[in-house]
Amino acid sequence: MNLEGRLIGNRYEILEKIGNGGMATVYKARCHVLNRNVAVKVLKEEFTTDAEFIKRFNIEAQAAASLSHPNIVSIYDVGSEGEIHYIVMELVQGKTLKEIITDDGILPWKWTVNIAIQIASALEVAHRNNIVHRDIKPHNIIITENGTAKVTDFGIAKAVSNSTITSFGATIGSVHYFSPEHARGGYTDAKSDLYSLGVVMYEMLTGKVPFDADTPVSVALKHMQEVPEEPKKLNSTIPESVNKIIIKAMQKDPNLRYSSATEMLVDLREAIKNPNGNFVVMNRTEIDEPTRVIRTDGEEPKENKKQSVFKKKWVKVLLILLICALVFGGAMFATFKMLTGSGPNEVQIPSLVGLNIDEAKGKLDELNLKYEITEEFSPEGKEVGLVLAQEPKYQDNFKINETEVIKLTVSKGIEMVEIPKVAGNTKEEAIEKLEAANLKYEITEEINDKIEEGIVIRQEPEAGEEIAKDSTIKIYVSLGRGIKEVTVPYVIGKTEEEARKMIEDAGLTIETVRYETDTTKPNGQVLKQSIDADKVVDEKTPVTLTVNKLEEIKTGTLNINLKSLLRYQKEYDDEGEEIPAESVEVEVRVTSNGSEDTVYKKSHKEDTEKITVQIEGVGTVTVKIFVDGVREKQEQMDLSSGSAVLNID
């Protein structure tokens, strides 16, 4: 079933297949809710027919989702859609440890121990949360580009091992990394994961697994019955301490292995500092059986004569009588002591807190007092060997008898931790790593045009150094270019004032305002903007606006002396009487912005000396005067002053 191109869970768009395992197919997907790439692991069809398995699978996956650690691949979501059952996880860029071993063969011991420390740290957190992986192998460990180990598939193996699925007929997990108890189908716990981690270290340092055979069953039997060849014999560069760590982790008896991931971590970290040290304690059984001789002819070996003596009846009776006599004598002695009132001496309890352990021992020896010593790290930084506490506590006039044991707590000094590498991580990843290492942090943000925003540029002190627990590490986080990016608003059609406010509110500046005339648009309206709307630019980028500017219509006064314009002369009839002036039609036309309009048209007597006409227009206009349809005068009139007067005579 290929899901590429499909949207599942109404949010995860499947982009491409990136992996294929025995149980599931892994896809790269895009989460449309949080707008990020994720990995989606989809169970294969043969696993979806068992309701009990699906139920357990969901429970285990949800439990694993609660784990938060820099070395554990985060689980974001668990869901189903029809017959599709899936887990959404962090998408990690890198190679599996198996791919690295295949490509590089034998790996350097320091690099191997560093990776083992990260895996053990992940297991430590999981085991504290009662989650056992049960399938630790190089295939389930991803190494990122900056060298961080990420363990994946927590909880899935348990779901499979507890299910009733039998149809697929294959062993879940890789038998090459199984613990003996896992191989025989017995009870598996945290120590099984530590065995598998030992096998992974073995393979990293030798280039091969400790047990191999033609069939999975044969490999499983070897895990249960055979002792692996010491890794140091296959790779002489392996330090003695690392060799012992692997051997201890791979003990067939779980009781002989490390008791916890925390205990194994202590040895792994010490191995980095003291590779050839003799600090790895190999556990032993409580009762070491003596060597027995096994006869090949079917007969039992003859018993030792000294041993056979104790099987005679009279000897047994004699021993019983002797024991009874001793018990009776002891009881009589104790009764005598009680009756005579004698008992242990009582002494004043000494004040030991603040003394050096040697001084404290001296005082206790003088008083014939016994003591027990427990070492603890001192949060206050008390020097090594200083007595931090005593039990019973010191009190004036408080006596104890000589048989009591004084319990002393002695300082181991300041607990030191190794500084993890956080440079190159995101700020959030760096904080997780430092908190996991019991370190505090101080964040300083810096502008850096070469490193992406939110990434740690450097750290002080450097990674790998040892420092007191709860010390503060300075991390310097990139602000990127340090310039905020903003989106350009659309201001065309707005007034100049509205456009200015929108540009400034968006975090931009007005560089220039230019003016153009467009008679088809309202006066004062923005016609153009120098940067297109919706474009993302740096904050305070200058923007140029082009605004429509129409000249204001002004009014002037036209005075026409019609009598003078027509050169009118009085006329008389034959009798000497004045002939009245005739009426004529006076028309005034004004040309403004290429458009000619008649603004005045009336009849007047030819001898009219003053006709007043109001002229409106923009800038300089052309005034034409017609009398009975004949143009008599044409003049230019500048109206820009608003008080222009044109006299025509």
Catalytic center residues: 135
Question: Strand 595-605's sheet: what is its strand order?
Answer: 595-605, 583-592, 620-627, 630-638
Give the contacts of 383 (CB within 8 A, at least 6 positions apart): 411, 413
Distance CA 482, CA 363 (A): 65
Residue 314's SS3 state is: helix
CA 447, distance to chain mean position in Å, is 21
Q: What burial letters (b/e) apply to 100-131, b meaning 16+ CB within 10 Å?
A: bbeeeebbebeebbbbbbbbbbbbbbbbeeeb
Distance CA 40, CA 357 (A): 58
Helices 240-249 and 109-128 sit at what angle, rounded to 10 degrees? 40
Check: CB of residue 246 under 8 Å from CB of residue 275.
no
Q: What angle do CA 73, 135, 179 make, to 5 degrees?
A: 145
Q: What is the DSSP letter of 440?
A: E
Closest CA to 232 of 223, 215, 218, 244: 244
Q: For residue 175, list its beta bridge partners.
A: none
Q: How far apart are the first and last CA of the chain?
A: 101
Question: How far are the Cα atoms of 349, 402, 405, 548 from residue 367, in angstroms, in the given order?
Answer: 9, 8, 12, 105
State the amino acid at position 83 in one-letter form: E
Give the contacts of 37 (CB within 8 A, at least 6 positions apart): 15, 28, 29, 30, 31, 91
Q: What is the DSSP letter of 154?
A: T
Check: CB of residue 96 under 8 Å from CB of residue 143.
yes
Distance CA 456, CA 446 (A): 10
Distance CA 29, CA 36 (A): 9
Question: Residue ranges of the alpha helices (H) in 278-436?
Answer: 305-309, 313-340, 357-366, 427-436
What stretches of 127-278 adopt beta strand conformation (E)?
141-144, 149-151
CA atoms within 13 A on the CB side of 359: 11
Residue 171 in tokens: 């062993």
Q: How many residues are given for the chain?
A: 649
Distance CA 644, CA 31 (A): 73
CA atoms within 13 A on the CB side of 480: 9
Question: Residue ranges of the alpha helices (H) in 437-575?
Answer: 496-505, 562-565
Residue 34 in tokens: 């949080």
Phi-psi group of 397: left, alpha or beta (phi > 0 → left; psi -120 to 50 → alpha; rest → beta): left
- On the question of a cis peptide bond just before residue 210, with omega within 30 degrees of 0, the verdict is no
